[in-house]
Amino acid sequence: MTKALAGILLSILLLGSGAASAASSVPLGFTVLPDQVHSWEEAVSLVVSRALPPVRTDIHLGHQPRARWLVALPLGPDIARLPPAPILTLNVANLDLVELAYLAPDGTLAPPRPRTGDTLPLGERDVIGATLAFRLEPDLLDDHALMLRVTTIGQLSLLPGVTDAASFALGQARSLLIGGMLAALAGLFALLMLFAGVATRDRRFLAFVMLSVPFGVTGLASIGQLAYFLPSVPAWMTGRVSSALAYLVTAALIFSFYVIIRPQPSRWCLRRFWFTLAWLALLLSPVGLTDLHPSIAWFNNSVQLAFIAFVLIYGPLQWRGTSALGRIALAYLLATCATGIAVVARTWFPGLASLAVTYFWPINLVMQSLMLIAVLTVSGRLLAEVPEQTRRLEGARQARLRLAALARKFSGLLKVVSHEIRNPASSLRFVATNLRRGVLSPEDAATDLIRISNQLSDIVRGIQRQRDAFTDGSAADYTYDLREKLAQVQGTLAGRIDPARLDLEVCAASGAATHLVDASRLVLVLTNLLDNAFKYGGRGRVRMSLSSTPERLELEVADQGQGIAASDAERIFDQFWRDPRHSHIPGWGLGLWASRSAVESLGGVIEYIPRHPQGAGFRVRVTRLRGADSHALV
């Protein structure tokens, strides 16, 4: 998709070059009348007297606080070199308003015709603000002089030429198509960036760039055309507004770059560069108004050149340290500043003015298109990464939830441990005090110490159950002798279970074999279920059946005790929950919870099964996932 869109943008560039070639014009020479001319009458008088300066096809003037008059003498026989249906095109810089009038051989001046956006026919309008156009009358050009009155702020640059109407219309259509396609692509991808998953910093930056490149340039061009859309407003007023708005828009764009791609605090050098760049642009905003005053125009240009020099010298030094997005912004700024040198430096080097007018806008358009291609490439990569990033975010969210739940459980465990340890600790102090005072005999003290030791052992076993329930299986043992593990469990529970009342049924390979469930978690589950069956099952028999293979494990344990009340069946696996009917029996309420945690960590299920007429039963099932090994279940 990205390659296709890059191809579309390259086609746009080809359209732009085609538009430039289609609208190529024949140069037309004009004479610039002296600045002492202040009216149409004075201009006509000077033309009639034929005391005119030399003809020029490349006109560049300094600061012009007042209107200036230009004249093209009658073409005579040279009219043959003009195309049919000729249109006068003026490639301009800093031009606000143009009026055109024909001067007859007898000195009669036709009414001046202003160039405004409201009065021009569609074929004479130009979507690019750097070109103005007039439809000429071929019948008058052979013996009539062509006069122009121009008003401007800043420094005037003018490249007049003549092209045919068809080529001009084709060029304007292509320009309109280019602008429309760029705006449509930018708007489309800006919306994609904003609505594709989470609106991260990268996507906000891309959306901003895509919207600002075409629409920002269009906005600057529109600002420059205020004089044509507001013909009743004095040119000096629209000029001041245009200058202020243009600099503010430029400064806002650069400052937005800093806000959006702000580097990490550790990269203080890069951060200082973007910060300085942004604030220099903001400081330059009011400096743009100095174009209105010739006495300080040199200061304005000097500040602008200093800003350009700062970007061109210090910017490349930050290339390696910045991100891909920062490099896109930096490349755009470097290219814009490099092409802007000719515009700013024409005060000292007038020959650069024609270069600025002829090449600045085309180069800028190419750079904007190339920048948009780069942005589309980066955005295509980001869009392709959206599913993976979404999966990672969801995984991180689930991990945070699990950690939060685990923290809550262990917080409760610590509270219980602190409470349970308080009693044995108090008993130890009591025994030690009585033994020191001679109140307690050594035999009685030994008996009490054994009892306290057993209490502490129960507490330690409870903590070990918690640990085993959350083991990550990194050192799990899947190859063992199942009957040996059963004997280990019975040895651990010696004195707490009666083997004579245990009906045991085992279905597994003899000797060491590979099993689906690792040894530590199997021992944990067997110990808890058998301990509970004998502890709460009364004097009846306990039945346990166990089947274990590399593919699955099935375990059932049933007693003949009182069972579990139906209202409590959903709570028996909760942490620290105990049946009120058995509150006189020592316990923590952790055995079933730890067993369920261990079984579910294997992808299995443990469930409570009521026994009839009485008793409690528990069933455990763990099955290998298709396409996974036993370690994948951990």
Single-letter code of the amino acid located at 184: A
Q: Is 394 exposed, middle or buried (0-12, 13-18, 19+ CB in 10 A)?
A: exposed
Per-residue model confidence (pLDDT) at position 277 = 62
3-state DSSP helix/strand/coil percent for the chain, to nearest 5? 60, 15, 25
How many CA atoms are closer than 13 Å to the CA of 169, on its beta-carbon side? 9
Q: Name which residue leads in pLDDT, 428 or 394.
A: 394
Q: How confident is the model at residue 205 (pLDDT cuts 50, 70, 90)?
A: low
Full domain range(s) for residue 105? 25-168
Checking if the pLDDT of 123 tops 70, the result is no
Structure tokens at 29: 């020479």
Q: How confident is the model at residue 163 (pLDDT cuts 50, 70, 90)?
A: confident
- Per the structure, how many domains does the chain have? 4
The rounded distance, in Å, linking the Cα atoms of 3 and 442 is 90
* Structural domain includes residue 480: yes
The rounded distance, in Å, linking the Cα atoms of 197 and 412 is 37
The verdict on 482 and 556 lying in the same domain is yes
> Which span out of 26-30, 150-154, 578-582 was modeled with the highest average pLDDT?
26-30
Q: In this structure, what DSSP letter does residue 551 have?
A: S
Q: How far is CA 497 from CA 501, 529, 532, 611, in A?
A: 8, 11, 10, 20
| Segment 326-363, tens digit of pLDDT | 676 677 777 777 766 766 676 666 556 556 555 665 66
Q: Which of 168, 193, 216 is the last residue of a domain?
A: 168
Q: In this structure, what DSSP letter does residue 107 have?
A: S
The verdict on 410 and 495 lying in the same domain is no
Per-residue model confidence (pLDDT) at position 119 = 32
The rounded distance, in Å, linking the Cα atoms of 132 and 227 is 12
The verdict on 178 and 322 lying in the same domain is yes
Single-letter code of the amino acid located at 189: F
Per-residue model confidence (pLDDT) at position 621 = 92
397: alpha, beta or left? (left if phi > 0; alpha if psi -120 to 50): alpha
The verdict on 499 and 509 lying in the same domain is yes
Q: How far is CA 467 from CA 110, 244, 401, 495, 590, in A?
A: 101, 70, 19, 24, 12
Checking if the pLDDT of 71 tops 70, the result is yes
| Mean pLDDT of all residues belonging to the chain | 69
| Segment 81-111, tens digit of pLDDT | 777 778 787 766 555 567 888 888 888 888 8
CATH of the domain at 483: 3.30.565.10
Q: Name which residue leads in pLDDT, 221 or 577.
A: 577
Q: Which helix (DSSP H) or strand (DSSP E) does residue 553 occupy? A: strand 552-558
The verdict on 408 and 448 lying in the same domain is yes
The verdict on 509 and 408 lying in the same domain is no
Mean pLDDT for 374-393 is 68
Mean pLDDT for 432-452 is 75
* Structural domain includes residue 18: no
Q: Name which residue leads in pLDDT, 198 or 172.
A: 172
CATH of the domain at 59: 2.60.40.2380
Mean pLDDT for 600-616 is 83
Minimum mean pLDDT among 132-141, 211-220, 422-431, 489-498: which range? 211-220
The rounded distance, in Å, linking the Cα atoms of 14 and 369 is 11
| Cβ–Cβ under 8 Å, residues 167 and 119 | no
pLDDT above 70: percentage of residues in the chain: 50
The rounded distance, in Å, linking the Cα atoms of 300 and 480 is 86
The rounded distance, in Å, linking the Cα atoms of 486 and 484 is 5
Which residue is associated with the tokens 């409760």? 412
Checking if the pLDDT of 405 tops 50, the result is yes
* Structural domain includes residue 12: no
Q: Which of 364, 390, 416 is the last residue of a domain?
A: 390
* Structural domain includes residue 575: yes
| Cβ–Cβ under 8 Å, residues 304 and 344 | yes
* Structural domain includes residue 86: yes
| Cβ–Cβ under 8 Å, residues 367 and 336 | yes
Which residue is associated with the tokens 């901003």? 208
Q: Which of 143, 168, 193 is the last residue of a domain?
A: 168
Per-residue model confidence (pLDDT) at position 619 = 92
Q: Which residues contact 105 (CB under 8 A, 6 or more apart)?
A: 74, 143, 144
Checking if the pLDDT of 36 tops 60, the result is yes
The rounded distance, in Å, linking the Cα atoms of 40 and 592 is 104
* Structural domain includes residue 10: no
| Cβ–Cβ under 8 Å, residues 546 and 619 | no
pTM of the prediction?
A: 0.38
Structure tokens at 479: 């190859």
Q: Is 515 exposed, middle or buried (0-12, 13-18, 19+ CB in 10 A)?
A: buried
> Which span out of 133-147, 260-274, 375-389 was modeled with the highest average pLDDT?
133-147
| Cβ–Cβ under 8 Å, residues 518 and 510 | no
Q: Name which residue leads in pLDDT, 128 or 216.
A: 216
The verdict on 87 and 29 lying in the same domain is yes
* Structural domain includes residue 538: yes
* Structural domain includes residue 273: yes
The verdict on 91 and 212 lying in the same domain is no
> Which span out of 15-29, 34-48, 307-321 was modeled with the highest average pLDDT?
34-48
| Segment 475-519, tens digit of pLDDT | 467 788 888 888 888 887 777 788 888 888 888 878 878 888 888
Q: Which residues contact 395 (CB under 8 A, 6 or more apart)?
A: none
DSSP-derived secondary structure for 320-362: TTS-HHHHHHHHHHHHHHHHHHHHHGGGT-THHHHHHHHHHHH
Checking if the pLDDT of 17 tops 50, the result is no
Strand 542-548 relative to strand 502-507, pairing: parallel
The verdict on 368 and 478 lying in the same domain is no
Q: In this structure, what DSSP letter does residue 501 have?
A: G
The verdict on 126 and 259 lying in the same domain is no
The verdict on 204 and 219 lying in the same domain is yes
The verdict on 339 and 408 lying in the same domain is no
Checking if the pLDDT of 380 tops 70, the result is no
The angle formed by the CA atoms of residues 181, 185 and 186, to the nearest 5 degrees, is 115
The rounded distance, in Å, linking the Cα atoms of 316 and 298 is 27
The rounded distance, in Å, linking the Cα atoms of 157 and 593 is 85
The rounded distance, in Å, linking the Cα atoms of 335 and 356 is 14
| Cβ–Cβ under 8 Å, residues 331 and 377 | no
